[in-house]
Amino acid sequence: MNAEANTSCAEAMSDLALLYRESGIAEVFEKLDRELVGLAPVKSRIREIAALLLVDKARRAVGLAASAPSLHMSFTGNPGTGKTTVAMRMADILHRLGYTRSNHVIAVTRDDLVGQYIGHTAPKTKEVLKKAMGGVLFIDEAYYLYRPENERDYGQESIEILLQVMENQRDDLVVILAGYKNRMETFFRSNPGMASRVAHHIDFPDYSEAELLEIARLIAAQTDYRFDEAGLAAMRDYIAHRLAQPHFANARSIRNALDRARLRQAQRLFMNADKQSAPDKEALMTITAGDIRASRVFRGGLDGERKQESS
């Protein structure tokens, strides 16, 4: 009896392993790990969700009760923490597990959903919903849909249509709402209907300094650039300085910093062009300490001058 149960258990396990291999989500996880630095809690939540969906699929295969899971999600976190990128990967995972028919993501904001006059909102929202059918609808800064200060705001109409489709066409569409954590919480508090239909809340933590440096290296490597030793140290200093300044947008700030460093590197190579022979491949690829240390971040950023005066 016990042995029998064990064999059927082993069969189920192998089935699960087979399902896992067949779905090819291992590939997506690998890509997720390779392309996204840090975000450990997010990655583990995604793995949990994927595991649940996989097990649901296996349960259905052997005839056990498996309710159609609600897949709508909310991604909260500061800007530049990878919400959009993770949404794309999520669409991949859902597609590979067979929960969506396509892996496309339609990213929209309030402007794409809410109209400007009476009767404009419904067709506009429906058009976006139709475009997103079969895939994932990613609503960035979703809390802007709800404007409590204006009771005649058309955002409410849009939310109602959204809710209706989220409920009735769960097989056709997965909605991901994204935005700052505290504002999303207010949004969900004032729209209980929305809160109850979103099953998975994933919070994106800010990156640590070490992770940001790793991100900088990764972005540079993707565009065939690299730091020399002093350059890397300068980048580390840069991150430490930048973190203390306002409007820090995590990975996005790092990418912008690198873009500016590339500008300075190009300028440096160009200015030296007549003094020395043509730069070799190494020189074209390398970002040095000087390219980074020229940034105004080291002089206190935008309002550095004012600070210097007061101190």
Tell me if 169 contacts another protein by CB under 8 A: yes
- Find the shortest distance in angstroms from Cβ 199 to another protein: 21
Comparison of 170 and 201: residue with beta carbon closer to another protein: 170
Q: Among residues 25, 133, 254, 292, which is the contact residue for another protein, using CB under 8 A?
A: 133
User: In the chain, which ranges are E strands?
Assistant: 73-77, 105-108, 136-140, 174-179, 200-204, 226-227, 286-287
Give the CA radius of gyration of the chain: 24
- Find the shortest distance in angstroms from Cβ 113 to another protein: 15
Angle ∠(239,243,248) on CA atoms, nearest 5: 110
Instruction: Kindly indicate which of the ranges 31-39, 45-53, 132-140, 256-264 contains the residues binding another protein, using the contact rule CB under 8 A.
Output: 132-140
Distance CA 180, CA 144 (A): 11
Reported as half-sphere exposure (CB side, CA atoms, 13 A), residue 225 has a value of 22
94 and 86 Cβ atoms separated by less than 8 Å: no
The position carrying tokens 């949404």 is: 87
- Find the shortest distance in angstroms from Cβ 136 to another protein: 11
Phi/psi at 226 (nearest 5 deg)? -150, 160
Q: Among residues 21, 31, 60, 101, which is the contact residue for another protein, using CB under 8 A?
A: 101
Q: Tell me how many residues contact another protein (CB under 8 A).
A: 14
Phi/psi at 105 (nearest 5 deg)? -120, 125
- Find the shortest distance in angstroms from Cβ 134 to another protein: 3
Taking residue 16's Cβ as centre, other Cβ atoms within 10 Å add up to 16
Tell me if 115 contacts another protein by CB under 8 A: no
Comparison of 129 and 258: residue with beta carbon closer to another protein: 129
User: DSSP of 222-248, one letter per residue?
Assistant: HTT-EE-HHHHHHHHHHHHHHHTSSS-
Tell me if 173 contacts another protein by CB under 8 A: yes
Phi/psi at 120 (nearest 5 deg)? -95, -30
Q: Among residues 134, 193, 205, 279, which is the contact residue for another protein, using CB under 8 A?
A: 134
Q: Among residues 33, 111, 127, 259, which is the contact residue for another protein, using CB under 8 A?
A: 127
Distance CA 119, CA 49 (A): 38
Tell me if 147 contacts another protein by CB under 8 A: no
Tell me if 135 contacts another protein by CB under 8 A: yes
Tell me if 87 contacts another protein by CB under 8 A: no
- Find the shortest distance in angstroms from Cβ 165 to another protein: 9
Q: Among residues 6, 14, 44, 102, which is the contact residue for another protein, using CB under 8 A?
A: 102
List residues binding another protein (CB under 8 A): 101-102, 104, 123, 127, 129-131, 133-135, 169, 172-173
